Structure 1
């Protein structure tokens, strides 16, 4: 039996974690699919919620590796992150939905199920109470792929600071990314 997810990602920096999550299977209470896009947020990163240190809002980001950091953006949408080292996390930006499609469609009300962090969280039924929950638990699991897939890399999107960091990663050839990647930015 493989080691728990939390022990398999412990010690990875934010960029390593974001890269490693692409191609992984994420399931949340009977819904899920393959992670096809992520973004890294490091502790010394001015775009990261952890940049100014721990607060009540970002406490889960300083918690154990392999746990969720859930926050609300624009006062409306929830976003799901995976915590790596203390103060570092990877935002899950897009998912190729495979499990619980009827439930996802009911929650989303249209065909755009999981291409963007807010849509993904809504489709999966992410709740504020999931903040700090383990991805090794009964409600949420992540299974890493046996072999790392071919990745696309490019600058992060939807932020106002450190926009030029090439810390957004996607599954090469995947349909349903939140936005296209520049064609010249492919990495193994």
Structure 2
């Protein structure tokens, strides 16, 4: 796919007024773009995890935690929230109204634009290129939190409402690396079933013919 000029970006209204879990499922197949200093990169979202705010033991805002590091999470719906964890960066998009700190972690994409540039940023070919939140950010060349607080409609990070693909099957499961009570572990991770870029997918579960898409 060629670089996209003037993409139609998902509005703030997409990220509020519905459960965060529903929004996470609806993000699958949407095109995530980054207009980097070296050129445009992007791909289709194939994995997303919902985090449900102050009641969710796995969330950064659990029990009302609120400090400088997670302050963007308390912003308006559609706000960029980037954070460092275990030596890499991860990208969340804020959901729900301001001061209701819920969000969605974009865990993996299927590359579609600027793959050569992504390979220069992260020289790991094949499905390893963007099959995890840290890998994705490395491939995009994002190594800081400078875009925090920016609305997606104005940021160099964008999620498009056009050019979307349709998953054949959306699969729910446990969030990765979230070691908490079972009630908050299951069914908050959404993936395009069979897509080979889903993190930690088993080879026998991949759909190498259609990559898990209907279109």
- Which range, TM-score by smaller chain? 0.7 to 0.9
**1:33 maps to which residue?**
43
Are the counterparts in 2 of residues 20 and 144 from structure 1 also a CA contact under 8 Å?
no
* Aligned Cα root-mean-square deviation (Å): 2.2
Aligned match of 2:52 in 34, 42, 48?
Answer: 42
Task: Give every structure 1 segment of 4 or more consecutive aligned residues whose post-TM-superposition deviation is greater than 6 Å.
Answer: none
Structure 1 position 103, deviation (Å): 1.2
Aligned match of 1:98 in 112, 125, 129?
Answer: 112
**2:201 maps to which residue?**
180
**Residue range with higher mean Cα deviation, 122-131 or 61-70:** 122-131
SS of residue in 2 equivalent to 1:92: strand
**2:151 maps to which residue?**
134
- Find the aligned partners of 2:165 and 2:137 in 1 and give their Cα distance: 26
Larger Rg: 2
Are the counterparts in 2 of residues 45 and 162 from structure 1 also a CA contact under 8 Å?
no
SS of residue in 2 equivalent to 1:174: coil
SS of residue in 2 equivalent to 1:60: helix
Are the counterparts in 2 of residues 33 and 96 from structure 1 also a CA contact under 8 Å?
yes
The correspondence of residues 20-169 of structure 1 with structure 2, limited to 5 A, is 20-29=26-35, 30-43=40-53, 44-53=55-64, 54-74=66-86, 76-85=87-96, 86-111=100-125, 112-126=128-142, 127-144=144-161, 149=167, 150-162=169-181, 164-169=185-190
SS of residue in 2 equivalent to 1:39: strand
SS of residue in 1 equivalent to 2:191: strand
- Find the aligned partners of 1:117 and 1:3 in 2 and give their Cα distance: 21
Where does structure 1 lack aligned partners over 5 or more consecutive residues? 184-188
Where does structure 2 lack aligned partners over 5 or more consecutive residues? 1-6, 206-215
CA 1:109–1:65: 2 relative to 1, 3 Å: same
* Pairing 1:6–2:23 present: no
Deviations 1:154-185 (A, max 9, x none): 1111122245321110012312110238x7xx
TM-score, normalised to structure 1's length?
0.87
- Work out the number of aligned pairs and report it: 181
